[in-house]
Amino acid sequence: MSNLQQRVISAIVMAAATLTLTWLGGLPFRLFCATIAALIFYEWTRMSRPGNGSTLGFLPEALIAVFIVALIAGLPALWLLLLVAALTAVGAVAARLRGAAQWEASGLAYASLSGFSLAYLRDDNHSGLIAILFLFAVVWATDIAAYFVGRAVGGPKLAPSISPGKTQSGALGGAVGGVVAGLLLAIVAGAGNLIQLGLAALALSIISQIGDLFESWVKRRHGCKDSSNLIPGHGGVMDRVDGLVAAAFALYVIGWIAAGADHPALGLFPN
């Protein structure tokens, strides 16, 4: 089977599984988000740890396990955010006492906020479902449009020292594609605040591309081509969700400002 065939099959399976769990919401979706957080943490530490293993022993794994249990249990959003801050602080202090780098504490924060944002943005109501679908539409359309526009138009590189394949034309095309897809989803969902959602879609598209570049920088910093080989034809989980989790956190913050920490989607798509 060719690499292209593997990529297509993997993409179809991942999209089907993701959309099914998104539709179900509740505990199945929280388990899905917890799995994403665990795999991101695994890949982050796999890239950043020295060859002889972690200098902190099993402490980082214990800390991420505490977060995962709390996420699955559905701890209120603010309490879970405080827990993430506390766990990250413990990891950072332990690293400082051992004279180690702060990569594991950073990975703990990155993985935890990724799972948290997706889970609490989805919530258990119709607004949460629409908000997550809006997020998916923007981020996936951004990726697709950026790829095809970049290949067709070419031109100056976006960040050659970080990701040599990305172009400025691709970034612009991705932003346009993301806004169009987000607005189409909003119209189908019957949303009335299209100007605000259009601006949100533009912000999310830009942030998702920044998230993509950030993950590329982390990989380049540690001399890795892919974050892992867990997904046939695609590399690792981080390689697939880098832009998504960055945009998810941004959309969660927007919704939090509008409607509160526990039900942020209501601020974006009122019932």
- Mind listing the pLDDT tens digit for each residue in 14-26? 889 999 999 999 9
Which pLDDT does position 80 carry in this prediction?
97
- Rounded to two decimals, the pTM is 0.93
End-to-end alpha carbon distance in the chain: 47
Q: Check residue 123 and report its DSSP letter.
A: T
Do the beta carbons of residue 66 and residue 59 sit within 8 Å?
no
Per the model's pLDDT, the better-predicted residue between 248 and 240 turns out to be 248
pLDDT over 90 at 55, yes or no: no
* Average pLDDT score, the chain: 91
* Residue with tokens 């799995």, as numbered in its chain: 35
Amino acid at 32: F
- pLDDT tens digits, one per residue of 70-123: 999 999 999 999 999 999 999 999 999 988 888 999 999 999 999 999 999 998
Residue 172: pLDDT band with limits 50, 70, 90: very high
At a CB cut-off of 8 Å and minimum separation 6, what does 238 contact?
39, 40, 43, 44, 215, 227, 228
Determine the Cα–Cα distance for residues 93 and 163; give it in Å rounded to an integer. 32
